[in-house]
Amino acid sequence: MLKSAIAVWHRLRSIVLRRRLDRDLDEEIAFHLDMRAAEYRSGGATPDEAQLAARRAFGNVTSLKEHTRDMWTFPSFESIRQDVRYALRVLWRAPAFASVALLALTIGIAGNTAIFSLVDAVRIRALPYAEPEQLVVLWGNVMRTTLERRGASYPDFLDWRAQAHTLEGLAAQDETMMTLSGVGDVKRIHVEVVSAAYFPLLRVEAAAGRTFTADEDAVPQASPVAVLSDGFWRREFGGDPHVVGRTIALDAQSFTITGVMPAGFRGLSDRADLWIPFVMSDSADVLNERGNRGFQVLARLRPGVTIGAAQAELDTICRRLEQAYPDTNEKRGAEVSPLDVELLGNFRPALRLLMAAVAFVLLIACANVANLLLARSEARQREIAVRTAIGAGWSRLLRQMVTESAVLTAIAAVAGLTLAEVSLTMLFRIAPISFPSFVQPHVNMRVAGFAVLVCTACAVVLGMAPALHGRISRLAEALKDSARGSTGRRGQRLRRTLIVVEVALAVVLLVGAGLMIRTVQHLDAIDPGFNPSQVLSARVSIPRVETNGSETPAPLAVPARVLLERVRALPGVTAASLVSDPPLSGLSSAVFYTAEGQPATNAQLQPRAYVHRASPDFFATLQIPVKSGRTFVEQEQHPDTDLVVVSENVATRFWPGQSAIGKRIKLGGLDSSAPWLSIIGVVGEVKYRGLPENPTRDPDLYFPFLDRSQQVSLVIRSAVDASSLVAPVRQVIRDVNPSVPVFAITTMRDAVEDQTAQSRFTTWLMGAFAGVALLLASVGIYGVMSYLVVQRTHELGIRMALGATRHEIVRLVVGGGARLIAVGIAIGGAASLLLARVSASLLYAVTVRDSATVIAVGILAVVGLAACYLPAIRAARIDPLTALRVD
């Protein structure tokens, strides 16, 4: 074993010291030759005769050197080294071929590496928690006309935690915004309200201090403690090492800081500034209400437990709760969902589609390079024949060809990895979507390994094509100066097949890009029910004035109407209003209601609507159309108003073909004590909760705005760019009362575009890949057609000598290319049907029969025919006499 290890070490050492050993070997051989020649000279031979005799006696010097080198190092390594050096010389002698091939492969490898980096970054192991595959989220749901998520209630959560044995632990989790005061300017911050088990379940410990104890999460409103995020601690407290034990004011309540979390941890919401116990989120009465639902539950599976087993156990528990509490838990269940799906599931379908797209680009690039290599193999037929004649077997030729393609792809891989790293940086900078902060795609070892596999596959495929074509059977013919091996049918069939493959792949990419472009066009053309142009939305949180001993809610520090009037006075503002929740804010709340004269229904079929409180100018500010009746007036903005404005779906559901004005509805069921409300107006449906469609068809109910809520929104329409009002709005509110923080300020156009950001991101990349595919395919078609024209020069000359016109020659060449393009389009069109099916979740209001498909195919056909036409024109200009002299 020791001797073998020493021998291996000496061989490895010889690779590094190769030049010195070669020099020593040359000196030793020269010494032996000189000594032998001296013996012959002493015997009377002349110097030339002595030197010649010495060489004959010594033997073949080259063979001896090769044999000696084989003993120094690994023979196979020497052979590969020679192949690599020869491949580099071949590429150096053909700069045009090398440049085109390297460019095509670099683009293909860079695209695949970059997108794979994104795919790798959103895999399950990307979650920054220990054993992430065991983490799940529990959602409460209800069966209405369809199964709907409705979150959990605190009593249900306590029952799930007490009865579930497949779960290691459960933690309630929700997020909210609270007003921070006493530390710099008054501001709204992101807060997660979590159970004490939240941090242990995520296997995350505080970097300083501690997290919550079980006692601090047991009694509502009893333990006001907080844990800070690292970023918040550094930003607001300057990284004070003695921050633990200090207090901060959140919503005018004092909280004691118990700890600081490690850097990078921002909670499941990925934006938490701090955490407070879940029981601090509301009063005991609200938390104990089993019908009050809305938060999610974090859980961890016990080792060896599957999601299916946990789901089965939760189903059993929910059936028991339904029997025990039929009023609140009828048709109520729980859904177990993997945490990685909840956090990253929205990105994966688009990334899978993009991964397929860049794979197609790489295949097209490989087909192009294979065609170039085939063309070069035609020019090297004589070289290959000579190698075969002097004893090179087909396996040796194959290795040489594969080595050449491996060197080519290795150079392209280095360039591709560099380009991928640069592209990822640019992509993250300009992408319209926001990935979670822990998703940091870069070229790591997994990505580099993927690139190596891709390059290895490319090298083998590209090397096999010319090597298979180079297996000629008639060496004598190939060795003739007049040999035209390129006229073989096999080579032409292979090239044409590659063109068909390129066209088919390009069709799939172009159709996919076309469908995504049409999707975005449809999304942009969607009528959200309001006009988002030049509209600004801003949330404000108005504090209450502190009072002593009063049981009634303290008055607001400043009425919201005062803020509204000051904003209306700003230059450029044409309309402004107050609303409890603006469209697309995610703040809407739902209620059950009853229409007068309708029969009683069960809980699952009872009508449900989303409620909003709005000032009279709200509908005019957002330009929501009034279908009938009227909206509110200022005199109706008081608590005793029994008037309501409804959206169109209420009228069409209960009074189709009739006027809904004057009809009555009330909140709750028929036996509810709520007062009847008279409908005074019907407005158009608004995509209030999401685009392209509301998650459910539930209508909207609008009530008069009451100036008693702390959290309100301002909706402002301007005659100028809405974003230019951000600073003036902040300043005017600060001037009225510095204690009123302004937050969530955005233009409604941005809010609308955020809803379609993923589709636009996918479309942008698909369009780029499709453009590259179209360029590569057109270059491939042009190259092959040009090469075939050169190879058919003799044939075309004969045709023209026999009377063929230039028009007929053009038609002949273009017709041959058109047939290849048609076959490729047919195959690509069939594959596009599968693409449309796979990517259906990413499309909106389009099918594979959309005009985008016709346009994509038409573009490829025109470009392909143009690529055929240029060589055809050159063929038509061939001089018959010159062509007939071509061997």
Nearest to 742 by CA among 709, 713, 720, 722: 713
Q: How far apart are the first and last CA of the chain?
A: 63
The SS3 of residue 879 is: coil
Give the chain's mean pLDDT. Answer: 85
Predicted local confidence at residue 486, as pLDDT? 42
What token pair was written down for 185? 């300017």
Predicted local confidence at residue 390, as pLDDT? 62
Task: Tell me if 544 sits within 8 A of 575, measured CB to CB.
Answer: no
Contacts of 418 (CB under 8 A, 6+ apart): none
For the cut 80, the answer to whether the pLDDT of residue 345 exceeds it is yes
Task: Tell me if 131 sits within 8 A of 444, measured CB to CB.
Answer: no
Predicted local confidence at residue 353, as pLDDT? 86
Q: What are phi and psi of 200, to 5 degrees?
A: -60, -35
As a whole number of angstroms, the distance between CA 421 and CA 117 comes to 9
* Mean pLDDT, residues 627-653: 93
* Mean pLDDT, residues 435-450: 85
As a whole number of angstroms, the distance between CA 866 and CA 845 comes to 33
For the cut 50, the answer to whether the pLDDT of residue 701 exceeds it is yes
The SS3 of residue 673 is: coil
What token pair was written down for 620? 């005019």
C-alpha to C-alpha distances, 759 to 290, 523, 691, 756, nearest whole angstrom:
39, 9, 12, 5
What token pair was written down for 582? 């603006």
Task: Tell me if 364 sits within 8 A of 860, measured CB to CB.
Answer: no
Q: Which residue has the higher pLDDT, 152 or 58?
A: 152
Predicted local confidence at residue 861, as pLDDT? 87
DSSP string, 611-668: EEEE-TTHHHHHT--EEEE----GGG-STT--EEEEEHHHHHHHSTTS--TT-EEEES
For residue 485, name the pLDDT band (cuts at 50, 70, 90). very low
**Which burial class, exposed, middle or buried, applies to 347 when counting CB atoms under 10 A from its CB (0-12, 13-18, 19+)?**
buried
**Helix-strand-coil split of the chain, %, nearest 5:** 55, 15, 30
The pLDDT tens digits for 740-768 are 999 999 999 999 999 888 888 888 888 88
Predicted local confidence at residue 472, as pLDDT? 46
Per-residue 3-state assignment (H helix, E strand, C coil) for 780-831: HHHHHHHHHHHHCHHHHHHHHHCCCCHHHHHHHHHHHHHHHHHHHHHHHHHH
Task: Tell me if 702 sits within 8 A of 644, measured CB to CB.
Answer: yes
Dihedral over Cα of 503, 508, 509, 510: its sign: positive
The pLDDT tens digits for 566-579 are 999 999 999 999 99
Task: Tell me if 568 sits within 8 A of 602, measured CB to CB.
Answer: no
pTM of the model: 0.80
> In the chain, where are the structural domains located?
2-73, 132-344, 348-524+757-884, 535-546+555-750
Q: Beta-carbon neighbour count of residue 423 at 10 Å? A: 17
As a whole number of angstroms, the distance between CA 135 and CA 319 comes to 24
Q: Which residue has the higher pLDDT, 347 or 261?
A: 261
Nearest to 444 by CA among 105, 104, 119, 106: 119
Radius of gyration of the chain (CA): 38
What token pair was written down for 41? 């000279």
Q: Out of 262-271, 287-296, 435-444, which region has the weakest mean confidence (pLDDT)?
A: 435-444
Percentage of the chain surpassing pLDDT 70?
A: 87
28-67 residues labelled b (16+ CB within 10 A) or e (exposed): eeeeebeebbeebbeeebeeeebbebbeeeeeeeeeeeee
Q: What are phi and psi of 212, to 5 degrees?
A: -85, 150
Dihedral over Cα of 681, 682, 686, 688: its sign: positive
Q: Beta-carbon neighbour count of residue 166 at 10 Å? A: 19
The pLDDT tens digits for 580-600 are 999 999 888 889 999 998 876
Contacts of 483 (CB under 8 A, 6+ apart): 381, 382, 477
**Residue 184: CA count within 13 A, CB half-sphere:** 12
What token pair was written down for 769? 């890949």
Q: Beta-carbon neighbour count of residue 171 at 10 Å? A: 23
Name the DSSP letter for residue 691. Answer: S
**Chain centroid to CA 67:** 56
Task: Tell me if 871 sits within 8 A of 786, measured CB to CB.
Answer: yes
Contacts of 865 (CB under 8 A, 6+ apart): 814, 817, 818, 821
Let me know the angle formed at the C-alpha of 312 by 306 and 314, rounded to the nearest 5 degrees. 105
The SS3 of residue 590 is: strand
Q: Beta-carbon neighbour count of residue 70 at 10 Å? A: 13
DSSP string, 239-260: T-TT-TT-EEEETTEEEEEEEE
Task: Tell me if 789 sits within 8 A of 871, measured CB to CB.
Answer: yes
7-15, long-range: CB within 8 Å, 24+ apart, which pairs? Answer: 10/72, 11/72, 11/73, 11/74, 12/73, 14/72, 14/73, 15/73, 15/77
Task: Tell me if 249 sits within 8 A of 181, measured CB to CB.
Answer: yes
Per-residue 3-state assignment (H helix, E strand, C coil) for 37-99: HHHHHHCCCCHHHHHHHHHHHHCCHHHHHHHHHHHHCCHHHHHHHHHHHHHHHHHHHCHHHHH
Predicted local confidence at residue 2, as pLDDT? 53
Nearest to 442 by CA among 863, 782, 116: 116
Task: Tell me if 143 sits within 8 A of 333, measured CB to CB.
Answer: yes
Residue 552 identity: T
> Could you tell me how many residues make up the chain?
887
Task: Tell me if 494 sits within 8 A of 377, measured CB to CB.
Answer: no
Longest dimension (CA), the chain: 137
What token pair was written down for 753? 């575009």
Contacts of 789 (CB under 8 A, 6+ apart): 796, 813, 871, 872, 874, 875
For residue 813, name the pLDDT band (cuts at 50, 70, 90). confident
The pLDDT tens digits for 211-266 are 999 999 999 999 999 999 999 999 999 999 999 999 999 998 999 999 999 999 99
Q: Out of 66-75, 98-107, 240-249, which region has the weakest mean confidence (pLDDT)?
A: 66-75
What token pair was written down for 825? 């389009």
Residue 6 identity: I
Q: Which residue has the higher pLDDT, 203 or 589?
A: 203
Nearest to 720 by CA among 566, 571, 532: 571
C-alpha to C-alpha distances, 57 to 24, 28, 40, 571, 746, nearest whole angstrom:
21, 16, 11, 106, 93
The pLDDT tens digits for 366-403 are 888 888 777 776 656 666 666 666 665 666 666 777 78
Pairing of strands 247-250, 608-614: unpaired
Residue 778 identity: S
Percentage of the chain surpassing pLDDT 90?
A: 40
Contacts of 840 (CB under 8 A, 6+ apart): none
Dihedral over Cα of 262, 268, 270, 273: its sign: negative
